[in-house]
Structures are given as structure tokens and as C-alpha cells.
Chain A
Amino acid sequence: MGWIIGGRLKLVSLKEVMEDEIASQEWFLPGNSCCAGCGLEIALRWAIKAIGPKVAMITPASCLNVVIGLWPKTAPNFPQFNMAFAAGAATGTGVDAAFKAKAYRFPGKGWEEMTSLVFAGDGGTTDIGIQGLSGAAERNSNILYVCYDNEAYMNTGIQRSSSTPHGAITTTTPFGKVRYKKNVPRIMEAHEIPYVATASISHPLDIYDKIKKAKSIEGCKYIQIMAPCAPGWGYPSEDTIEIARLAVKTGSWILYEVENGIKTLSKPSKPLLDPSKRTPIIEYLSKQKRFASISEKTLIEIQDVIDHQWEVISAELRCQTDYLK
């Protein structure tokens, strides 16, 4: 097995995946040009296992445009279309509209079962693509939007995006980013779409499960997958899974899902409601060269922000429990 089964999550077992006719197959084929230890590759591989080949994947400008292979060779063994940077969500909406129009015109030919999938990077989602994404969410367009989050513009050479965390060095923040990471899952929650989730490539079965669930829901679905980037973050390529796992264990990347407005912490993150269960953030930061220059003050700030976001989420969960009573 080339992947590690995530933490304590056992919603779907690996055995179940291997016995599934679709999921046991590989759809994102070997021969792609991903870097060694690429987080995106794992995210896409597991997403497609959950969706299957009855899909049209729209890829706005990102690493994914390149790693699928140079023309005429291509790694996805399913329909895939490259798109302009800001156009992901809108193109996905158009593809879904065409599926609906074709289902009307040619009923019973399987157009009803097709999934319109947008697979975009954090730049294409949180920066240039956010207007189109917000529009699709407001319309509740029937798309599955996956953002693989490697926290910078990696394809163009590691420039900062609004998803880059505080303190991280990129080629456009040579002394570390001043501002904090934009919380796009929360922005998507505010759109009151039927499904929002966060995931991490350290927990592939959690990805599988969330994508599978999202696929079955009609309307706009948003999933943001933490996908570390070895050259961009500055760690040995064999550590990708470990780094992604630390992002979860430190509580800096919280795994949860929001289904029809009800927020649920996912199993790997649930215990971290207890602050003592959180791994100190230094263990995560110190393994990455992008955080090499942060001061002690910044380190404390980052830890404070993490603790604060947990306070917010636990308060939110308490309110929700009271409300549901």
C-alpha cells in the first residue's frame, strides 16, 4: 500500500474500498508528472475513487493543469477539462446545466448520473476564483467543488495566496506572511449550501467518505483538502503524510463537515476539543523550512490563534447542541 490509513477514522474501511468495483481501480493513472510526495496527487486519487468515472472534472489553472501530463498524454482516466483560472465554479455550473439539458433531451442515457466536479487549487479558489465560487454557491449550482489546499501558488513558483498561513515564507513574502489564512470553508458555510467539509490527505478514507457523501447530495458542495507541498513548504518528500497529519493533530487544520447547517467534527479532530490533546504547533512548524524565520512572538501568536479558533468552534458546537434540543 502506498498510502497510510488515517488516524482513528474508520467510517469506511480500507477493505470496503478495495472490494468496491470502482474504488479499487486507479483513475488517476501512474505516469503523471507530480513531484515526489505530492499532496494533490493523493487528494485527487482518493476523490475520484469515491466519485468514479461518470464525471467531468474541470481544472482551473493550478499545478493540476501541468501534472496531468503534457499534451497529448494525460493521466486522468476520466473526462477532464483544463480551464482558465477564475472560471472553475462557473464552468462546472455550465457542465451540470448541459447534463440536465441532455437528460431532458435523451432520457435514460445516464446523463442524470453524471457529476460535475471542479478540482481547483487554493489560489483558484480563495483568490481569483472566489467570485465565481460564491456565485455558484448562492445559486446552489449542482457542482462538487474540491479545493486542494497547498497554501500558496505552487505552480508558478511558491507565491503567497490568501490561503497562505501567517508567518510562512513564500517568494512574495520573503520575510513571512503578515496576514492570516483566509477561512474559506467558513465563507462557504455562510452561503448555506447543503454540504461543506474539510479534509486532509493524511486521512484518505475520510476524504473518500466525505466525497462519497457530497456526491449523493443535490446542490453546491464544497470540500477543502489540506494537501502539503514538499518543495513549497520545505520538507523531505517522504514526510508529506506526516506533515498533513501534524496539521490535523496540532489542531491548526480542523476536520469537520457541515451538512444542511449542522456542523460535526470529524473523528480525527474531535478529541482536540480538549486543549491538552493538541500537539503543540511548534512540532508542525519546525519541520517546514517556510516557517524557519518566525520569531518566538509569532510562534506564540500562531498558537493563540489556533486555540482561539477552537474556542470559537466549541462555542459554536455548544450553541448548536442547545439549539437542536
Chain B
Amino acid sequence: MIKPEIKDFIQNKETIIIKGNVATAYAAKSARVQVISAYPITPQTTVVEKLSEFADGGQMPGTQYIKVESEHSVMASIIGASMAGTRTFTATSGQGLFYMYEMVHWAAGTRLPIVTAIISRGTAPPWNIWADFSDLISCRDTGWMSSFCATHQEIYDEILMSYKVCEDYDVLLPKFVAYGGFILSHTSKPVIIEDQDKVDAFLPPLPDEKGWPHIWISEKRPIMHGNLIMPSGFYSEFRMKIHVAMLEAKKKIKTVTKEFEKVFGRNYGNGLIQEYKMEGAKVAMLIYGDLALQMEEAVDQVREEGYKVGMVKLRHFRPFPVEDIRDIAKKVKILGVVDRAIAFGSQTGGPISCEVKTALHDTQGTAKVIPMMNGIGGRQVTLEQQKNQLKTLIKFHETGELPKDMIFGTYWDGLLEVD
């Protein structure tokens, strides 16, 4: 069945059928990034390949593409380029993100609006290159904003929106735009690549020669950055400001998402979350990344069977949409949370489950949260499974019964039998 919006895509003349990773490269091109630095890693590789084609083939005039020798150097060079006041881009996956982890903190501490695509994959050992968000989640407390994409088009759109949010002088924070390895990165779908003039109007090239308001390079007014600071200095305050700026960025994310819809006609909820068929739903599933797309289908089919279920797509992990989650939890009785990453040792489910439970901790009369776990290391999650997940919630709602094989309070779906 071709969904109506896909029909529209096919009819649009700017539509091309491309892989998710190619959409990422197109987004960087449309955003007129000035400096790219990258190191290949599966499943990110096709991003850097396409960008090489663009940059070295003269399709991105003036853009510098540094092909460095490691991910640590990727983020270091991106930080250097961003400090000097340019729009920068890179992409990485799993182990690569871990290798650049030191510099990830540095980027946020320097308050640089770097946008980085994370093509999420499982963490070794054993080697795993398939969709799993444990890489992104491990960067929770780095000071980076982060969001998930569910479709090819959303990758392109989210990267454009992210630059606009990050570069706002009240935000000035870096951001990860994440999507599942192979599932989105290596499959092809129709994607609208917007007209450059239209993108330029939405996201103008950096206007200020100097760079950002807080960091610049000038012989006339030299500054230092990152000097040693004593505990009695402003260190605590710098960190607090990152925290506050990220929470304040929720407003900016919402306005940019609205503006994006106005200009390009594509809706992403309020930017932080996107509801799907929540009308009259007493049972809902909170889900993120590519699995959300298939879950829409599952919701449709379960609804056809007569159950009022709904779905909430989590778009941002940081800043976390606490208010929106609370509103949802007031409307429904049961809220399932599907994670594709493990929070080892946590007894309140996966990382997003923990967040949801924390957000609802002090609220009264809100939904019961059921943590669920699936698709770890790219394990396939079928439509049938997702329908069963929804039905598990329905059964709990109707009878108060939970599956007997829950592991420390989490429903793990699709596990093989082990001793």
C-alpha cells in the first residue's frame, strides 16, 4: 500500500529516490556547510562518499572537506573550524562516536553549533554494525542536543532545522541527528531535495564574518578560550548555562518546526514529539527512530481490530520533552515505551523508559508506564511483533495482566532462548 504522502513525493519533480545516507549528504549541501571533516565507519560510509563527490566535484563551492585519520581528529578539526566561525558538519556511528567522545564534550563546552549525523549502530563486542541507539544514548550528558529520525525525508529536514536551532544565539549548542543504521541509511526512498533559494531563505548562510558572538579569531580583539578555571571561578555557572540553554531551546525547536512546516509543508508535530492517532486512545506507545514508522502501521491495523490505540513518536532525546510526556500521560491509562538501547543495571527499563518514568514521578493520575525493549543490535522487529506489543498493553489495560517473562520489569520482545 502506497501511503498518500508517498504518492505526493513521487509526483513532485524535486523528489529523488535516495538512500538515507545520501539524504544526509544532500542536507549538508543544502545547508551550505563550509567545513566538513569525516572518517569512514560502517554504516556511515555512504555519507562521506557522497559528500566527497559533492565537495571534490565542485558542487559545494568554497567548502573545505578534511579527510582526517580518526574520529577524535574529526571532532577536533570540526571544533577548530567552528571556533573560527564556520558552519560545520560531520557524521559518524557507534565506535566512531565513542572514539571522539572526549571532543564531543569539548564541542558543547565551547558552545559550538555543530550538527553531527549519528547513523546508530550496536556497540562492540561482539562486533555489531546494525541499528541500535546505545551509541547516541551514551552521549546523554555531553551537553549535546539530540534527535531521532523516522524517515528518509525527516533526516534531510531535521538536519536543516537543527542548524537553525543550534545557531540561534540563545542556544549555541551542538546537536546529534540520529537514525538507525542500514534500516534508514542503506534503504532507498523518495526524498524531496528543496530548492536552494528556498533553503537559503529558511537557513541563510552565516552572515557574520566574525563568527559566533562568544568566540572569534581577531588580531584586533584577541580572545583566549578554555583557560584553566578554579572552582571558585565561573565553571559551575558555565555548566549551568549549558543546561538552561538546552532546556530553553525547546521553545526554539518548536518555533523552527512550525516555521519549517510553513515554508516546506511538512509536519513534525511540535518538534519534540509527534502524535499519531491519539484521538480517544487509552493505550499508547512511545517510540523513537525508524521503528516508529512501522508502528504507525501497527497502530492502524490494531485500530482496525477495534482497539483505540495511539502512538507518540519521540523526536528529541535532549532536551527531553518532559511537559509533553506529562500531557500525554494524563490522557492515556497505559503508556508503553519501546527502547532500542539498554540502560545496563537500570530497573526502570531502557534509557527512554527511565526518562519517562522520571518525568512522571511527581505527577498524579498519569499513565502506568510499561518499559519495552526490542531490536537490540539491529534484531529485526516485525509488524506482527509491534502489533503484539500494542496488544500486550491492551491486555494489561483490560485485565491488569503483564507477560510472565518480563526481565526485571521490562518486556523484552524477540529474544532467542538462552540458558
Please determine whether chains A and B interact with each other in the same assembly: yes
The residues of A with any CB-CB pair to B shorter than 8 Å are 52-56, 58, 65-66, 68-72, 74, 76-84, 86-87, 89-102, 104-106, 109, 114, 116, 131-132, 134-135, 138-139, 141
The answer to whether B209 touches A80 (Cβ under 8 A) is no
Nearest CB in chain A: distance from B75 CB, A: 8
Interchain CB contact (< 8 A) of B217 among A79, A100, A105: A79
Segment touching A, from B172-180, B223-231, B346-354, B358-366: B223-231
Which residues of the other chain, B, contact A139 by a CB distance below 8 angstroms?
A: 66-68
The answer to whether B229 touches A71 (Cβ under 8 A) is yes
B334 beta carbon closer than 8 Å to chain A: no
The answer to whether B209 touches A131 (Cβ under 8 A) is no
The interface bits of chain B over 62-101 (1 if a CB of A lies within 8 angstroms of the residue's CB, else 0) are 1110111110111011111111111010000000000000
Which residues of the other chain, A, contact B85 by a CB distance below 8 angstroms?
A: 98, 102
The answer to whether A74 touches B80 (Cβ under 8 A) is no
The answer to whether B72 touches A68 (Cβ under 8 A) is no
Number of interface residues of B (CB under 8 A): 47
Given contacts A58-B80, A93-B68, contact A65 B228 (CB under 8 A): yes
B218 beta carbon closer than 8 Å to chain A: yes
Chain A's closest residue to B102 (CB) is: A84
Which residues of the other chain, B, contact A74 by a CB distance below 8 angstroms?
A: 224, 227
The answer to whether B84 touches A56 (Cβ under 8 A) is yes
The residues of B with any CB-CB pair to A shorter than 8 Å are 34-35, 37, 61-64, 66-70, 72-74, 76-86, 88, 102-103, 106, 205-206, 209, 217-219, 222-230, 233-234
The answer to whether A101 touches B69 (Cβ under 8 A) is no
Q: Which 5 A-B pairs have the closest CB atoms?
A: A94-B80, A135-B69, A94-B77, A98-B84, A90-B73
Which residues of the other chain, B, contact A106 by a CB distance below 8 angstroms?
A: 209
The answer to whether B217 touches A114 (Cβ under 8 A) is yes
The answer to whether B219 touches A90 (Cβ under 8 A) is no
Given contacts A95-B80, A105-B62, contact A132 B226 (CB under 8 A): no
Given contacts A82-B226, A94-B37, A132-B76, contact A101 B68 (CB under 8 A): no
Interchain CB contact (< 8 A) of A95 among B70, B81, B228, B233: B81
Q: Give the CA-CA distance A66 to B234 in the complex, in Å.
A: 17
The answer to whether B77 touches A79 (Cβ under 8 A) is no
Most buried by A among B64, B85, B227, B234: B227
Given contacts A87-B103, A98-B81, contact A71 B37 (CB under 8 A): no
Nearest CB in chain A: distance from B99 CB, A: 10
The answer to whether B34 touches A105 (Cβ under 8 A) is yes
Chain A's closest residue to B36 (CB) is: A97
Nearest CB in chain A: distance from B65 CB, A: 8
Given contacts A84-B103, A132-B69, contact A71 B227 (CB under 8 A): yes
Which residues of the other chain, A, contact B88 by a CB distance below 8 angstroms?
A: 94
Which residues of the other chain, A, contact B224 by a CB distance below 8 angstroms?
A: 68, 74, 76, 79-82
Interchain CB contact (< 8 A) of B66 among A81, A114, A141: A141
The answer to whether B66 touches A93 (Cβ under 8 A) is yes
Q: Give the CA-CA distance A109 to B216 in the complex, in Å.
A: 15
Which residues of the other chain, A, contact B34 by a CB distance below 8 angstroms?
A: 98, 101-102, 105
Given contacts A66-B228, A94-B77, contact A105 B205 (CB under 8 A): yes
Which residues of the other chain, A, contact B225 by a CB distance below 8 angstroms?
A: 80-82
Nearest CB in chain B: distance from A58 CB, A: 7
9 contacts between A and B (CB under 8 A): A76-B222, A83-B76, A87-B76, A90-B77, A90-B80, A91-B76, A94-B78, A95-B83, A134-B69
Which residues of the other chain, A, contact B74 by a CB distance below 8 angstroms?
A: 90
The answer to whether B69 touches A102 (Cβ under 8 A) is no
Chain A's closest residue to B62 (CB) is: A104
Most buried by B among A91, A116, A138: A91
Q: Give the CA-CA distance A78 to B68 in the complex, in Å.
A: 27
Chain B's closest residue to A85 (CB) is: B102
Which residues of the other chain, B, contact A69 by a CB distance below 8 angstroms?
A: 227
The answer to whether B66 touches A94 (Cβ under 8 A) is yes
Given contacts A97-B64, A98-B80, A131-B69, contact A77 B227 (CB under 8 A): no
The answer to whether B80 touches A71 (Cβ under 8 A) is no
The answer to whether A79 touches B218 (Cβ under 8 A) is yes
Q: Give the CA-CA distance A59 to B77 in the complex, in Å.
A: 13
Which residues of the other chain, B, contact A98 by a CB distance below 8 angstroms?
A: 34-35, 64, 80-86
Interchain CB contact (< 8 A) of A70 among B35, B77, B217, B227: B227
Known A-B contacts: A71-B228, A105-B209, A109-B209. Give 11 more (CB < 8 A). A70-B233, A78-B222, A79-B217, A80-B224, A81-B224, A87-B76, A91-B76, A93-B80, A101-B35, A102-B86, A135-B70
Which residues of the other chain, B, contact A56 by a CB distance below 8 angstroms?
A: 84, 217
Given contacts A70-B228, A104-B61, contact A81 B209 (CB under 8 A): no
Interchain CB contact (< 8 A) of B222 among A53, A102, A105, A138: A53
Nearest CB in chain B: distance from A283 CB, A: 38
Q: Give the CA-CA distance A108 to B272 in the complex, in Å.
A: 43
Chain A's closest residue to B230 (CB) is: A70
Q: Give the CA-CA distance A189 to B102 in the complex, in Å.
A: 30
Q: Give the CA-CA distance A104 to B66 in the complex, in Å.
A: 16
